[in-house]
Structure 1
Amino acid sequence: MAALAVPALALLAWQRTPQVQTVETPQLAAVRAGEFRDELPLRARVEPLRSVQLDAAEAGRVEAVLAHEGDQVEAGAPLYRLHSPEQEQLLMQRSAEVAQQMANVSVQRSAQAASLALNRRELAQLQAAQTESQAEYQRQAQLAAAGFVSPAALEQAERRQRLAAQLLQQARQDLRLEAETRQQSIDEMARAVQGLQHGLQLLERSRERLQQRAPIAGQLSGFQLQVGASVRPGDRLGRIDDPASSVQLVADVDEYYLPRLQIGQVATGPHGDLSLAQTLPQVQGGKVRVLLRWPQAAAPAALRPGQAVDLRLQLSAPRPALLLPEGPGVQSRLYVRQGRELRPRTVQLGRTAAGQVEVLAGLQAGDEVLISQPPSQAERLALP
Structure 2
Amino acid sequence: MTAPSPAPATHRVPSGAAMDRTLPPTRRVAWRIVLPALALASAAALAWWRPSRLQTIHTPQLAVVHAGEFRDELALRARVEPMRSVQLDAPEAGRVEAVLAHDGDKVGAGAPLYRLHSPEQEQLLMQRGAEVAQQMANVSVQRSAQAERLAQNRRELAQLQAAQQQAEADHQRQQQLAAAGFVSPAALEQAERQQRLATQLLEQARHDQRVEADTQQQSLDEMARAVRGLQRGLDLLGRSRERLLQRAPIAGQLSGFQLQVGASVKPGDRLGRIDDPAGGLQLAADVDEFYLPRLHAGQVATSANGELALAQTLPQVQGGKVRVLLRWPGNAQPPAGLRPGQAVDLRLQLDKPAPALLLAEGPGVQATLYVRDGHELHRRQVQLGRRAAGQVEVVAGLQAGDEVLISQPPSEAERFALP
TM-score by length of 1: 0.92
| Deviations, residues 18-67 of structure 1 (Å, cap 9, x unaligned) | 52356655554433221100111111101111111111111111111111
What do the CA deviations read for 1:229-272 (whole angstroms, capped 9, x no partner)?
A: 11111111111111210111111122222232222222111111
Match status 1:319 vs 2:350: no
Among residues 107, 110, 114, which one is paired with 2:141 in the alignment? 107
Moved more, 370-379 or 97-106: 370-379
2:270 aligned residue (222, 225, 236)? 236
Partners of 1:89 and 1:375 lie apart in 2 by 70
Displacement of 1:219: 0.7
Shift of 1:187: 1.1
- SS in structure 1 of the partner of residue 395 of structure 2: strand
Q: Secondary structure at the match of 2:168?
A: helix
Structure 1 residue 311 displacement after superposition: 0.9
Q: How does 1:1-384 map to 2 (within 5 A)?
A: 11-17=41-47, 19-20=50-51, 24=58, 27-300=61-334, 301-337=336-372, 343-372=378-407
Q: Partner letter of residue 260 of structure 2?
A: Q
Q: Deviations over 1:330-380 (max 9, x none)?
A: 444434455666555433221221122211123333344444456776666
* Partner Cα separation in structure 1 for residue 375 and residue 119 of structure 2: 83
SS of the counterpart of 1:273? Answer: strand
Per mean C-alpha deviation after superposition, the further-off stretch among 310-319 and 9-18 is 9-18
Cα offset, 1:283, TM superposition: 1.9
Q: Counterparts of 1:127 and 1:96 in 2: how far apart (Å)?
A: 46
Change beyond 3 A, Cα 1:14–1:373: farther
Tell me whether 99-108 or 333-342 shows the greater mean CA deviation.
Answer: 333-342
* Letter in structure 1 aligned against 2:388: A
Q: Which residue of structure 1 lines up, in the alignment, with residue 8 of structure 2?
A: none
Q: Distance in 2 between matches of 1:186 and 1:340?
A: 104
Q: Which has the higher mean CA deviation after the structures are superposed, 367-376 or 175-184?
A: 367-376
Instruction: State how far apart, in whole Å, the 2-side matches of 1:357 and 1:145 are.
Output: 134
Supply the distance in 1 between the matched residues of 2:78 and 2:162 (Cα, whole angstroms). 98
What SS does the aligned partner of 2:164 have? helix
Which moves more between the two structures, 361-370 or 174-183? Answer: 361-370
Say which is worse superposed, 279-288 or 241-250, in terms of deviation. 279-288
2-structure distance, mates of 1:79, 1:261: 40
Residue 50 of structure 2 aligns with an amino acid whose one-letter code is Q
Q: Please, which moves more after superposition, 255-264 or 100-109?
A: 255-264
1:127 shift after superposition: 1.1
How far the C-alpha of 1:225 sits from its partner, in A, is 1.1
Deviations 1:134-166 (A, max 9, x none): 111111111111111111111111111111111
Deviation at 1:107, TM superposition (A): 1.2
The 1-side partners of 2:322 and 2:136 are apart by 58
One-letter identity of the residue aligned with 1:172: R
Q: 1:276 to 1:163 in 2, by over 3 A?
A: same
Partners of 1:162 and 1:340 in 2: CA distance = 136
2:394 is aligned with what amino acid? Answer: V
Measure how far apart 1:79 and its partner are.
1.0
* 3-state SS in 1 of match to 2:362: coil
Which deviates further from its counterpart, 158-167 or 337-346?
337-346
Q: Which has the larger radius of gyration?
A: 2
Q: Which moves more between the two structures, 274-283 or 18-27?
A: 18-27
Q: How many pairs are equivalent?
A: 384
Question: Quick one: distance in 2 between partners of 1:120 and 1:373?
Answer: 106
Q: Specify whether residues 146 and 341 from structure 1 end up closer, same or farther in structure 2 by C-alpha distance, changes over 3 A only.
A: closer
CA distance in 2 between partners of 1:214 and 1:113 (Å): 52
Of 214-223 and 283-292, deviating more is 283-292
Partners of 1:178 and 1:378 in 2: CA distance: 103
Change (3 A) 1:154 1:337: closer
CA distance in 1, matches of 2:145, 2:418: 113
Which deviates more from structure 2 when the two are superposed, residues 68-77 or residues 294-303? 294-303
Identical aligned pairs, as a percentage? 77
Distance in 2, Cα, partners of 1:332 & 1:281: 30
- Provide the C-alpha distance between the structure 2 equivalents of 1:376 and 1:239, rounded to a whole number of angstroms: 53
RMSD: 2.5
1:296/1:188 CA distance change after superposition, 3 Å: same
Give the stretch that moved more between structures: 363-372 or 40-49.
363-372
After TM superposition, the score normalised by the length of structure 2 is 0.84
